[in-house]
Amino acid sequence: MARRSDHSREELEELALRTARKIVESEGAQTLTARRLAGDIGYTPGTLYHLFGSMDGVIYRINAETLEKIKEEIAPLHKRKPAQDIPADIHKMAAAYINFAHTHRELWLLLFNTQSAEQPPAWYVEKIEESFSPLEEVMKPLYKKESELKLAARALWSAIHGICYLEITQKGPMRKSRQNATEMAKYLITSFLNGQDRAKA
């Protein structure tokens, strides 16, 4: 029997999540099972249920970390100085997002390509909202009305995400290299921003 004094509850949770992330990264989401994860940390499935309530609970925690990582990669691409090249920043963010999806393919798939029986907990929905904020921040100077900013930022980000998703899952009509998603995003963003300017002029 694993001794409780080996780790505090927090340490044990961290150990479990770290190990779970490793399993997903190296062997894909399918291999993340209760018995496998429990075995890898030297405990039994019951302990995971004690800590996380369910396997979906584990997955939501991993996904929250992934959302955090994505945000961390994207947020710093916007230098706060005024008079910046906003389109350039947006292009950078989109490229970074697509790049993240490719370099952390399995984690990204766990985030967007799995279905859970449980409703997402409130703190998780919050995390999702936050992950969209960097783009909104960058685009802020382009809009007078808060409502239009929100609409524009979310539409654009969803669009970039859609391009990325269909490429990675192969559920869309693009079977070639990663060049395509980045290229498509670039094209979309350029046209979109052009159109925005024009509507304002």
Partner DNA sequence: CTCAATAATTAAACATTGTTCAATTATTAG
Partner DNA sequence: CTAATAATTGAACAATGTTTAATTATTGAG
Residues in touch with DNA (CB under 7 A): 1-7, 9, 12, 31-36, 38, 42-47, 49-50, 54-56, 117
Q: Which does 42 bind (CB under 5 to 8 A by kind): DNA, a second copy, none?
A: DNA
Other Cβ atoms less than 10 A from the Cβ of 176: the count is 8
Q: Which of 6, 35, 171, 179 binds a second copy (CB under 8 A)?
A: 171
Contact, 52 vs 14, CB < 8 A?
no
Give the Cα separation of 102 and 25 in Å (integer). 12
Q: Which does 143 bind (CB under 5 to 8 A by kind): DNA, a second copy, none?
A: none
Determine the 3-state secondary structure of 112 from DSSP.
helix
Q: Which of 44, 105, 162, 178 binds a second copy (CB under 8 A)?
A: 162
Using the rule CB under 8 A, give the single segment among 53-61, 78-86, 90-98, 161-169 that binds a second copy: 161-169
Helices (H), the chain: 9-27, 34-41, 45-52, 55-74, 86-103, 105-112, 122-131, 133-139, 146-169, 179-200
Other Cβ atoms less than 10 A from the Cβ of 60: the count is 20
* Complex with DNA: residue 35 or 140, whichever CB lies closer: 35
Does residue 49 interact with a second copy by CB under 8 A?
Answer: no
Give the Cα separation of 55 and 45 in Å (integer). 10
Residues lying near a second copy in the complex (CB under 8 A)? 29-30, 109, 111-115, 117, 120, 125, 128-129, 131-132, 151-152, 154-163, 165-166, 170-175, 183-185, 187-188, 190-199
